[in-house]
Amino acid sequence: MAAVVTAAKLALFETMLKTPTLADMLNLTPSDFEQFVAHVFRSAGYTVKVVAGQHFPYGPGVDLELYPSPGAKKPIARVEIKRYAADNRVGYEEVKGFNGILNHGEPLPGYFVTTSDFHPNARTFAADTNGRLRLLDGRQFLRYITYIRGSRVAQPDGTHRTATLTPPDWICTELTARQCDPRRTTVLTVANGRGGIGKTTSALNLAVALTQRGLRVLLVDLDGQASLSSALPLPDQNSKPPKNAPPPERQRYITDYFSGRCHTLVDLVQPTRIHNLWLIPANEELYRMDSGGSARVFEELAFVTAIHDATVRPLAGDRHDEPFDWIILDTPPAQSHYTRVALAAAHYVLVPVRGEAFGVLGINKVLSQAATMRALVGSGVRVTGCLITWWKNTKSARDVLPKLQSALDARDIKLYAHAIPYEDRIEQAHLSMVGGGIRTIFGFGSNEAAARYKDVLSELIQEVRPHVNEPGT
């Protein structure tokens, strides 16, 4: 069914997928643009037949037919394609004509793809087809390409496709996640594609530093290692617990949401032993549930909506009837479903990185994932910058720093001015908290690590202003 595409054209199409632009699409011939759109839909899991040479009523009279699998005998959707300049919008008659073809014989849904836009009356007509006819303008098509490119996985035949069929319906119908105003609750995701970078340490200490400013913070642990959850045990109901007594055991975890045992995050919010800090904990079950880095549009959008739900708030304490000031999501060091949803939910992204030769590799992964998830939600997912962690002032580290700065400058990504030093007080604080104590890095008197985290928080708040309000402002 699939039309033959030469190796040269396939290489061109793959290059266009990496950095899609409308200008490059307009430089293609109409026939090549049809083949490019077919390549995008193949990458989205479809088997595609190019039928532009057939003429209605003896053939489809459209450009592409989409099949669910190579052996399928009947198409499940049809695609009409118009490679139009920006000032040449698709009109009512063209959309109406395509709809007539979709209704001929056994009705099928259809996608009308253009590099330009649609006249308002064409959009009104499509809206009255009960979702059967879906319009994808140039801006939306770029979003679809970006999401598909970052959601494909390798197949046995050497191609790259999404693991399941991924239609552009959520874009065509503007089915997007409901994000809260960052002035109400600021959602920050801490992410890097590599492990041992200091993601959990940074998420925890920035959260504690925020509470010291009188702000109420929710931490969400999305890493199956559950290090963040171990560092923040439940408060002990006994005011004087026996010495070395284990912390109370938790009964609810983020896995309850992802497994469908609960449908909101509200009941998973739990107190910690630190004032103004709450947690949705993780456990190792997350590892077994992880579906990897392929597309799961509706699950991803559902999590974004769940995080931004106004009912996600403290269940007790001062101002318990108000939303959190900040929500910080800690992510696993992998191409994970949980990293994807955390990025999709973020207003802002912070990328910890070590000052070492391979430091840029993890940055590239998270920037690519951030672009993919921004394409999903259509806004937010802004990378505020990279934070150097575990800094040792050695010659090799100093030699790497200009290279790291240069790589970030090329990507227009900020490097935070304050690096977090390697300091034993950080590990001492971790040991204290895992043991059920409340002594954070800020409870060890004057130390450089605590001072630098406060400096980084000040930088971060400046990055996200004017969206973030201090209490009472």
Q: Among all chains, which residue has been given the structure tokens 């880095």?
A: 293
Q: How many residues does the chain have?
A: 473
Is position 397 within any domain?
Answer: yes
CA 51/CA 62 separation, integer angstroms: 7
313 and 362, same domain (yes or no)? yes
CA 63/CA 70 separation, integer angstroms: 18
Is position 181 within any domain?
Answer: no
Tokens of 422: 């390697």
Closest CA to 461 of 347, 323, 330: 347
Closest CA to 467 of 396, 382, 392: 382
Grade residue 222 by pLDDT with cuts at 50, 70 and 90.
very high
CB 367 within 8 A of CB 335: no
Cis, peptide link before residue 466, omega less than 30° from 0: yes
Confidence check: pLDDT of 78 > 70: yes
141 and 220, same domain (yes or no)? no
Domain end among 113, 147, 172: 172
CA 16/CA 20 separation, integer angstroms: 5
Q: pLDDT tens for residues 21-68?
A: 999 999 999 999 999 999 999 999 999 999 988 877 666 789 999 999
Domain that holds residue 441: 186-464
Is position 1 within any domain?
Answer: no
* The pLDDT of residue 238: 58
For the chain, the domain total comes to 2
Tokens of 316: 């007790």
Cis, peptide link before residue 57, omega less than 30° from 0: yes
- DSSP 8-state code for residue 293: S
190 and 132, same domain (yes or no)? no
364 and 418, same domain (yes or no)? yes
Cβ-proximal residues to 38 (8 Å cutoff; 6+ apart), any chain: 2, 3, 48, 50, 64
* The pLDDT of residue 472: 40
| CATH number assigned to the domain comprising residue 383 | 3.40.50.300
More confident residue, 342 or 234: 342
Is position 435 within any domain?
Answer: yes
Is 409 exposed, middle or buried (CB count within 10 Å of its CB: 0-12, 13-18, 19+)? exposed
| CATH number assigned to the domain comprising residue 94 | 3.40.1350.10
Q: pLDDT tens for residues 406-429?
A: 888 888 999 999 999 888 777 777
Tell me the CB-side half-sphere exposure of residue 217, using CA atoms within 13 A.
28
